[in-house]
Structure 1
C-alpha cells in the first residue's frame, strides 16, 4: 500500500508532464515550419507583417443607423419593404455572414417600419439565430423556416402578409438570383416587385469614416504587397510565380487577396489571358486586383518593366498618368459621374489614342466598397452626382493590340474639397511605387 501511494503520484506527474510537453512540441514544430516557410520567401515578402489587428470592425450602432437610413429611403421611394438575399448587402445591413448562395432561398427582409425578419431553411435556424445576436434589431428579428419539401416563396408571401404587406411595393436587391426574384414575384401577385437598388446602393454609395478607414487599410496592404513582389521579381520568372509572390505577401499580411499578372502583348487585354507567360527584360508587366479587410475591398493596378523601357512605352505611360490625374482633378461633390470619365478620355483622345473607346476600351472607374465593383460607375451617361464619402477606382488605360497595354489604377474617395487618393500614384515604369 505505501508503495502504491508513492507510485500513483509519480505516474500522474509523468502523464501530466507528457501532456504538457505535447502541445509545446507541436507549437515548436509549427514555429519551425513557419520559420522554414519564411526562410524560403524573398526578403521583401518575408519582411511583411500581419496588419489585420489594425482593422476596427463596423459597430452595431453604425449598422443600426444603416437600417434607419434604408427605412427613410424606402419611405421617400414609396417602397414598403426590401428583400435581400445572401451577399454583401446582407452583411452590410445585418452583419450576417451566411456564406455562399446555394439553390435554397435565404432572405432577410426589412420593412419600412418594424423589425426585419428572416426566411431560411429550417436546418439553418440555429446558425442564423446565433448570428442575429450581433445584428441590429436582432432580438426582435423573427425567423420563419421552411423544410425541404415546402415552398420558401409561399412562406415569404405569408410572412409579408402577417406584417400587413399583402399589397404594396417591395424592392429586391439587384444581385438576387432570377429564380428567387421570379419565385417571390409569383407568390405575391398583389405586390409590386421593383428594383431595390435605390435603397441598397442609396445607403452603400457614400462611406462612413469607419468604412473609409477599413478601405484605407486594404489599400495600404495591397500597395505594400505589390511593392514587395516588385522588389522580388526576376527576369525569367513566370507570371504565375509572380502572382504566387503576391499571394504569399497577402498571407504574411493576414488578409485574403488575389492578383493577376499579364506580360508583354497580354497586357493589352484589360482582363488578361490564361496563357502561361514569362517575364522578360524591357517588357510591360501589368498587375491588378486587391484584398479584403473586414469585407472592404481594394483594387489597384501597377504597370512597370524590369530593365529599360522603350520610348513608346514611356510615352503611353505618361499619357495614362496624365489621364488618371485629370480624372481625380475633375472630382468634387455635385459633379456628375460621367464628367470624371470624360476628363480622362479627353486626355487620351488628345494624345492620339482615340477616338472614344479605340484604345481606352473601358470606363475610367467603378464604385468600390464591400464589392470590388459597385454603384456608382464613372461612365458616360451616368448623371449621378458625386457626394462626399463615395469611393471609386481611377483606372484609365491604353491598350495596343499585339504590343502592350498600360493601366494605372488607384482607389480614391470624394471629400468636400475634391477627390483624394488612398494611395500614392505611380511615378514611372521604372518607379511604380514612388510617391506622387
Structure 2
C-alpha cells in the first residue's frame, strides 16, 4: 500500500521537485500568516485584511487564463524559474521594508499585487509540469495527490512555525526566511533532468489560442461543472481563512499563536485527507467525493454559529481542512484526466483562475460582510452557499458521468468506453 501511495516519488525529477516546492511552500505560509497578523496589528481592520487578500489574488482572475497560453508555448521549467526569482525578490523587499521600519500599508498592497501576478503564471505551470513528468496515468494521479500532501504539510508546518516565530523574531525575519525558501526552490528546478524538447509551435495567434482553450474547457459539461462548483466554494467558503484573525480575537480573545494553531489543525485534516487520496488507484468515482466534500464544508461553516471555544473551533477547521483538500485534489485529478497535453496549461490556468482568482472577490466581500453582519453570520452565509453548490453538482451526476466517459478515452485516461463505470 505504501508503495502505491508514494509511486510518483520513484521518479528522480519528481523527488527533487517535491522537496524544493515543499520547502518553498512552507516559507510562503510563514509569510502569509505574518502578513495577515501584521496588517491586523497595524490597522485593526477586517476590511483591510480582505483588501490585501484581494490584491494578492485578483491577478489570478485577470491574468491566469492568458498565462495558460504562454505556459503551453514555453518550457514550463523556465516559466517556474522566472516566477520563483520574482517571488524571491518580492519577499526580500518586504523583509527589508519591515526590518528598516519603513513598511506602510500601501507597500503591502503593492507587493501583494506583484506576487499575485507572479502566481498567475506559477501555479498553472507547476500543476502542468508535475503531471507531465509522469509517463503512466496511475503515476500522474499519484503526483497530483502528493502535490497536495506537499502543500498541506506546508500548510500544517508553516502556520505553526509562524505562530512560534512571529513573537520571537518578528514579521520581517519571517519574510526573510521565505526569500531563502524561494532560493532553494530555484536550485531544485535547475537540478531537474528534463528532455530538451522544444516549445510547441505557435500556429495560432494568442487570441485564437486563448479562445480555443476557453471553448475546450467550458463547452464540455464535466469540465464546466467542476469549475462552477469550485467557483462557488472559492467565492463563498474559502475566504474563511481571511476572517480567522477576527474570529480568534473577537470570539476567543486569543493571539497569533492560536490562529497558527487553528490553521495547523486545518492543515492536519488536509494532510490526512491527502494521504487517503494518494492511496486511491482509480480516478473514477471522485465526482461523488466532490459532492460529499462540498456538503461537509457547508455544514462546517454553519456550525461556527454554535462555536465559541477553542475545542469546537478545532473540530470545525479540521472538517474544513478535509473538505477543501478533497474538493481541490478531486477536481484537479478529474480535470487532468480529461485534458489533452496540448491544452493542459490552458485548462490548468482556468482551474487556477477559478480556485485562486475568484477567491479575492470573496475575500473582499467577506471582509465587508464581517463588518456589517459579524464574522459568525458571514461564515454561516458561506455555508449555505456551499450546500447550494453541492446540490447543483450532485443533481447533475448522471449526466456528468455519461459525458465524461468519452472525454477520458480521448485523453488516454481510459482505454475504451467499456472501462467506464457509472
Q: Give the TM-score band, short-chain normalised.
A: under 0.3
* Richer in helix (by share): 2
Q: Which has the larger radius of gyration?
A: 1
* Richer in strand (by share): 1
Tell me which of the two structures has the higher relative contact order, counting C-alpha pairs closer than 8 angstroms and 6 or more residues apart. 2
TM-score of the two chains, using structure 1 as the length reference: 0.24
